[in-house]
Amino acid sequence: MDDRDDLEFFFDPICPFAWVTSRWVTEVAERRDYRVRWRFIALAVVNEGKDYGAEFPPAYPTLHGLGRDLLRVAAAARRDHGEEPMAAFYTAAGTRLHPGGLSTAIWKGQPIPDDLVADVLAEAGLPATLAASADDALLDEILRDEADTALDRTGRDVGTPLLTFDPGTDRENSLFGPVISQAPKGDDAVRLWDAVRQLAATPGFAELKRSLRDDLVFD
């Protein structure tokens, strides 16, 4: 066996669809003993230069800003502690935001709790001192580099999440999505993985989409 990752998953913790897809990926990784590297694509960075007042709903500046701040902390944690804590950090942040209802509360205008970053760090087993990184704009250079890497692989007219199968090999292929409203479990999760991986590896494949969506389920 080698130490290569089987998948690179680019995420913004504020994105509910990335969260659902990440739980599907986690399910398959456990069943297939796959290695996943969690990487960053901050929606606030991707949308730099856009007019938020004209192009997005009112809550988006706050939500995207929170996602960026959390990824600044994740970038500092990765710098100081390596890749290993990234899964726990994303799980802690995503659980609070999505099943925990915080992202919906912010959407409705409620403020971001002052203790959010500290709680996420504690849940992930990381030092509380990393919380100061949320205000460190110098870390945005890392987020820009990560976003450019992801978007160079898929094209820029996409959202989150972005997946790269077999990174660093001659089989490397990347896609936006899948966008799913509920994470499949068990054999259903594995079947979807195999289908998506096959699509990613198909020469010339670019898009498969329907606009009808079920309500999000964060179980």
CA torsion angle for 202, 205, 211, 217 (degrees, to 10)?
30
Please give the pLDDT value at position 199: 95
- Is 94 domain-assigned? yes
Handedness of CA 64, 76, 100, 37 (dihedral sign): positive
Q: Is 177 left (phi over 0), alpha (psi -120 to 50) or beta?
A: left
- Using a pLDDT cut of 70, give the percent of the chain over it: 99
Question: Per the structure block, which two tokens stand in for 16?
Answer: 């509910």
Predicted confidence (pLDDT) per residue in 160-181, tens digit: 999 999 999 999 999 999 999 9
CA 84 to chain CA centroid, nearest Å = 16
Query: What is the rounded CA–CA span in Å between residue 42 and residue 13?
Result: 8
Lowest model confidence (mean pLDDT) among 4-8, 77-81, 88-92, 209-213: 209-213
| Non-local CB neighbours of 42 within 8 Å, separated by 6+ positions | 12, 64, 67, 68, 71, 140, 143, 146, 147
Domain housing 93: 7-201
CATH of the domain at 43: 3.40.30.10
- Is 73 domain-assigned? yes
- Contact criterion met (CB below 8 Å) for 19 and 97: yes
Among residues 12, 18, 11, 9, the alpha carbon closest in space to that of 180 is found at 18
Predicted confidence (pLDDT) per residue in 86-134, tens digit: 999 999 999 999 999 999 999 999 999 999 999 999 999 999 999 999 9
- Tell me the pLDDT band of 4, cut-offs 50, 70 and 90: confident
- Is 208 domain-assigned? no
Average pLDDT over residues 54-78: 97
Average pLDDT over residues 24-43: 96
- Is 109 domain-assigned? yes
Query: What is the rounded CA–CA span in Å between residue 74 and residue 68?
Result: 10
- Tell me the pLDDT band of 1, cut-offs 50, 70 and 90: very low
pTM for this prediction? 0.94
- Is 215 domain-assigned? no
Average pLDDT over residues 15-28: 97
Q: Kindly tell me if the per-residue pLDDT of 214 is higher than 80.
A: yes
Looking at the 3D structure of the chain, how many domains does it have? 1
Q: Kindly tell me if the per-residue pLDDT of 207 is higher than 70.
A: yes
